[in-house]
Amino acid sequence: MATLDVKDIRFEKVAQTKEKTPEDKLGFGAVYTDHMLLIDWDDQEGWHDPRIVPYGPFSLDPATAVFHYGQAIFEGMKAYNENGKILLFRPDCNFERLNISADRLSLPDLDPEFALASLKKLLEIEKSWVPSSAGTSLYIRPFMFSTEKTLAVHTAKTVTYGVILSPSGAYFSSDLAPTKIYVEEEYVRAVRGGMGYAKTAGNYAGSYKGQDKAAALGYAQTLWLDGVERKYIEEVGAMNIFFKINGTYVTPALNGSILPGITRRSVIQLLEEAGETVEERHVSIEELLGGIEDGSVEEIFGTGTAAVVTPVGELAYRDKKYVVNDFKTGPGARNIYDRLTAIQLGKEEGPQGWSVEVCKV
């Protein structure tokens, strides 16, 4: 099968560029840029016909397998515009994880170098869409799904990979404001041996039930417990979770059912480089609630690309509420947020290769 080369990417330019939403009116996932990247795959030719074309709807047969059997994965990353420089944060990690998800969902592997080179090409074309005011970014959504027209149950013989771009405001209305989360005991997000470690559509489909329940009770997010004993903490919505317990940072160990966040991995490394102790281990809900009550749990915060670092100010478990750090943003969350965002925006030097410049506006 032929290897892909960026110079083979076909470019079909829009006739007219769309009007841009003012940066202070950007929400999350509401606005999309002029163009998208698409690449097709089939079991005969492999990946072929890479193209950057006007953003627009797909036409798919109602019997397309993805509608019925959910063979779909995605990634989430951001491009920043800092003083006219377009920057990515650890994009190699996203394309490495895309292939881990692809493997779990029996989708084809995509060369990570080509994935990054083709994303850079799309970003060069769309660079005027990267917002520059504080807290804004261009949210990047790579995704891959089965396009095969069949109701037969088997691995896709035809697949499409795409990248769409969405100028976005801050994920939550105010950065670093504490959020309230609801500990879900009835439903679970994932089990070991399942797809929890893959970034797949189905994990989200299964999570709305818990999310709606939390929302109805006035909670912004769901805290998921392990799928077997419903005892150990896994993660929150689309974030991994950290606890500061007696001065030590603790986060649930990756166990196959937790999504291995790139923000999580980065936060662990930055905390360790700053001389902090980080433990990756089991944390039971009893340990956590007991620690909130006796004051040993000093802070809780979530980490993820979309929400960056989000302090948790209150937990609800069964009928009881547990307030953390007086519902205030603690110094641990503040410091790691400041360090991480400074590296993402190229204002501070981070570990080698974390901040990747794409082009200048």
Ligand X SMILES: *Cc1c(COP(=O)(O)O)cnc(C)c1O
Tokens representing 188 are: 């679970």
Neighbours of 84 (CB within 10 A): 11
Question: Which lies closer to ligand X via its Cβ, residue 222 or residue 325?
Answer: 222
Residues that bind ligand X (CB under 6 A): 76, 199, 235, 238-240, 259, 261-264, 303-305
Comparing CB distances to ligand X, the nearer of 9 and 201 is: 201
Give me the amino acid identity at 244.
K
Least separation, in Å, of the C-beta of 148 and ligand X?
25
CB of 254 vs ligand X, minimal distance in Å = 11
Distance CA 323, CA 317 (A): 11
Give the nearer residue to ligand X in terms of CB position, either 118 or 200: 200
Q: How far is the CB of 264 from ligand X (least distance, A)?
A: 6
Question: What's the token pair of residue 306?
Answer: 């979309």
Supply 179's token pair.
Answer: 């959020």
In the complex with ligand X, which residue's Cβ is closer, 244 or 264? Answer: 264
Q: Least Å distance between CB 176 and ligand X?
A: 17
Q: How far is CA 21 from CA 24, 38, 75, 126, in A?
A: 8, 25, 24, 15
Q: Contact, 74 vs 144, CB < 8 A? A: yes
Minimum CB separation of residue 236 from ligand X in Å reads 8
Residue 74 CB burial class (10 angstroms; 0-12, 13-18, ≥19): middle
Task: Please say which residue, 158 or 255, places its beta carbon nearer to ligand X.
Answer: 255
How many CB atoms neighbour CB 124 within 10 A? 13
